[in-house]
Structure 1
Amino acid sequence: MAGNSQRRGAVRKGASKKGPQVGSGGQRRRGLEGKGPTPKAEERPKHKANRMAAAAEKRAGGSGSRPGARPSASRGGSRRGKASSEIVAGRNSVVEALRADVPVTTMYVAGRIDSDDRVREALKTATAKGIAVLETPRGELDRLTDGAVHQGLALQVPPYEYAHPSDFIDPQTPGIPLVVALDGITDPRNLGAIIRSVAAFGGHGVVVPERRSVGMTASAWKTSAGAAARVPVALASNLTRALEEYRKAGFFILGLDMEGDVQLPDLELATEPIVIVTGSEGKGLSRLVRENCDQIVSIPMSSAVESLNAGIATGVALYEVARRRAI
């Protein structure tokens, strides 16, 4: 009724002579503001992809790492700072990665994909290995693969868990310690081939520097032909400092170079704890690394050949060391 001050909204607030303001209270303006980029399907709590990824992680042991992965070291510089999950795209690449036992958390399949032998093999292998298989719209798959030609198939590879260089300094390790360190190797296929040679000739591990060096990618896993599951790869924040620590622990540092002081057949340090350092094909060993080597070793070759691939040169050196140790 008129003059009823108890009725809600009838009392003017303050000394203002104006009545109640009518408006949206800023809701319309806030509604026009952007909400940021759309999160990935696996990051949305109520999305099917999130539940499937969580189930895959639980099957892998609940740690979020690849099955059989070595625990990451807690010392400083033990983990590659830029490590992130990798996407393998394309039917051939997906099938090859699954055949090579590359660690995979999720396989994405485009909706209404045209099935062929590669698609059927990928689905069968993923199911047998307990890999989460998600049907994904093509637009979302384009985004996940960053516009790559995925042909309706893609794999998500988790970050590699690196060891620490000092993990190879262990008096309890069977046999004479043998480590390979890489200086400026940027081709993942070379890394994979070197890991395979280390496994074949009784090496204990591989050390890669954090900067200007290749890391453990899906390509390196495939080239290693399964050896990456047995041979640990350590990450050194500073390769020169890591080599100094090995020397203090009683290792001899041998650098591979075309202009070496000692030829491989004349190597007398093969039966000692050693670190073989391989440089890039173009630049070879860096100056600081060369200065930290006890010997520079060369591989005798025919004059018709200018140089050897870094992976092949390392394999030849590892074979000669293994041969001498077996005598």
Structure 2
Amino acid sequence: MVQTENTNADGLHGPILICPARFHNPKMSRPRPNPSPNRNRTGHSGPARANRHTQGGGIARLDEDDLAMLLESHPEPLLLVLDGVQDPHNLGACLRNCDGAGVVAVITPRNHSCPVTETVVRVSCGAAGHIPVVSVTNLARCMERLREESGVRLVGTSDQATTGLYETDLTGPLAIVMGGEEAGLRRLTTENCDELIRIPMLGEVPCLNVSAATAVCLFEAVRQRGGFLP
């Protein structure tokens, strides 16, 4: 849990940087198994599960239509958008963070992103079986739809931001937008964010790993929401 009481009284914050990291892009063909094929995250069977497309081995994958149905039952969702995370260890750790923070769904672009592989499932410690991962063809268009149709505010992290994480309102319908290991947020993704923020960095190391930065942002949102996510 992030302790905002330790923030300097003068409001001084260091930069938010998502650290480039060396990674490998696995070609594994078997995504995660679904332990509960007849239920979605809300516990109800229905189209959000029935409309899933199957990948290799009969494993299901959510699309944008399924996301819209998930959001119907979550009026103030907390979402995570991952723009080009390609390391399966980072994706697995992010899913584990999301499970702990009560995230409704994780959204990733279909191309240039790590799929849910066996490594992802293992690193997530089971969270991959509980967090819907929505794969979209056009991430910028999906972000526009989230804003216009569901009233979701999109908050991205950037080293160019002037606003600190702990100065930002993270209540209400919200999507935290994180960049990939190498390039961070792409231009169109950045342009579709409603706000850009920094994580304070007070030591000598200038950046956090993407999964660590995701945890910091998500649990600050949990703190602001009083530990309760509808």
TM-score bucket of the superposed structures, by smaller chain: 0.7 to 0.9
Query: What is the aligned counterpart of 1:167 among 66, 70, 81?
Result: 66
Deviations 1:289-308 (A, max 9, x none): 00000001110112401211
Please identify the structure whose Cα radius of gyration is greater.
1
- How far does residue 228 in structure 1 lie from its aligned partner after superposition? 1.2
Query: What is the aligned counterpart of 1:224 among 124, 129, 133?
Result: 124
Equivalent residues in 2 for 1:1-327 (5 A)?
Answer: 66-69=34-37, 74=51, 79=53, 83-84=55-56, 158-169=57-68, 170-173=71-74, 176-248=76-148, 249-268=150-169, 270-326=170-226
In structure 1, the partner of 2:19 is none
Q: Which runs of 5+ in 1 are unaligned?
A: 1-64, 85-157
Q: Which runs of 5+ in 2 are unaligned?
A: 1-32, 41-47
Q: CA RMSD in A?
A: 2.1
Tell me the percent identity. 33
Q: 2: CA distance between counterparts of 1:321 and 1:165?
A: 24
Instruction: Answer whether contact 1:183 1:286 (CA < 8 A) is retained.
Output: yes
Q: 2: CA distance between counterparts of 1:159 and 1:185?
A: 24
Q: Aligned residue pairs: how many?
A: 183
Q: 2: CA distance between counterparts of 1:263 and 1:188?
A: 28
Query: 1:254 corresponds to which letter in structure 2?
Result: V
**Local SS of the residue matching 2:122:** helix
Query: 2:144 corresponds to which letter in structure 1?
Result: E
TM-score by length of structure 1 reads 0.52
Shift in alpha-carbon separation, 1:238–1:324, aligned structure 2, 3 A: same
Deviations 1:68-114 (A, max 9, x none): 1367564xxx648xx42xxxxxxxxxxxxxxxxxxxxxxxxxxxxxx
Instruction: Answer whether contact 1:258 1:307 (CA < 8 A) is retained.
Output: no
Instruction: Answer whether contact 1:183 1:285 (CA < 8 A) is retained.
Output: yes
Instruction: Answer whether contact 1:208 1:239 (CA < 8 A) is retained.
Output: yes
**Local SS of the residue matching 2:172:** coil
**Local SS of the residue matching 1:326:** coil
Shift in alpha-carbon separation, 1:190–1:160, aligned structure 2, 3 A: farther
Q: 2: CA distance between counterparts of 1:73 and 1:182?
A: 25
Deviations 1:96-142 (A, max 9, x none): xxxxxxxxxxxxxxxxxxxxxxxxxxxxxxxxxxxxxxxxxxxxxxx
Instruction: Answer whether contact 1:199 1:230 (CA < 8 A) is retained.
Output: yes
Shift in alpha-carbon separation, 1:66–1:229, aligned structure 2, 3 A: closer
- How far does residue 165 in structure 1 lie from its aligned partner after superposition? 3.3
Query: 1:236 corresponds to which letter in structure 2?
Result: V
Instruction: Answer whether contact 1:271 1:325 (CA < 8 A) is retained.
Output: yes
Shift in alpha-carbon separation, 1:304–1:166, aligned structure 2, 3 A: farther
Q: 1: CA distance between counterparts of 2:167 and 2:106?
A: 24
**Local SS of the residue matching 2:60:** coil
Query: 2:141 corresponds to which letter in structure 1?
Result: R
Shift in alpha-carbon separation, 1:217–1:273, aligned structure 2, 3 A: same
TM-score by length of structure 2 reads 0.73
Q: 1: CA distance between counterparts of 2:162 and 2:66?
A: 30
**Local SS of the residue matching 2:61:** coil
**Local SS of the residue matching 1:308:** coil
**Local SS of the residue matching 1:255:** strand
**Local SS of the residue matching 1:278:** strand
Higher relative contact order (CA 8 A, sep 6+): 2
